[in-house]
Amino acid sequence: MEWEFLKLLQTFGPSVGIICFFLYRDMKRENRFMARIESLESYQKDTLAQLVERSTIALDQSTNCLRWIGRIVKRSVNNGCN
C-alpha cells in the first residue's frame, strides 16, 4: 500500500497527497457525525419509550377514576339523590 501511494505521489505530485488528506479528513468527519446521530436516535427512542409507558399508566389510572365516579353517579341517580 505504501509503495502504491509513493508511486502515485511521484507520478501525480502533491495534488494526490492533498486529495488523500481531504478524503481522509471527510471520512473521519462523516464517521463522527454518524456516531453522533446514532447516539441521538437511541436517546430519543429510549425517551419516547419511557414517555409512552408513563402516559399509558396515567391514562389507565384516569380511566379507572372515571369508572369509579361513573358508578357513584349511577348509584346516586338510582337512589333518587339529585
For residue range 10-23, list pLDDT tens digits in order. 788 778 778 888 88
User: What domain count does the chain have?
Assistant: 1
Cell numbers placing 41? 436516535
- pLDDT attached to residue 70: 92
Dihedral, 58, 62, 63, 68 alpha carbons, nearest 10: 140
Task: Tell me which of 23-27, 31-35, 56-60 is least confident.
Answer: 23-27
Q: Tell me the residue range of the domain where 62 lies.
A: 2-78
* Type of residue at 28: K
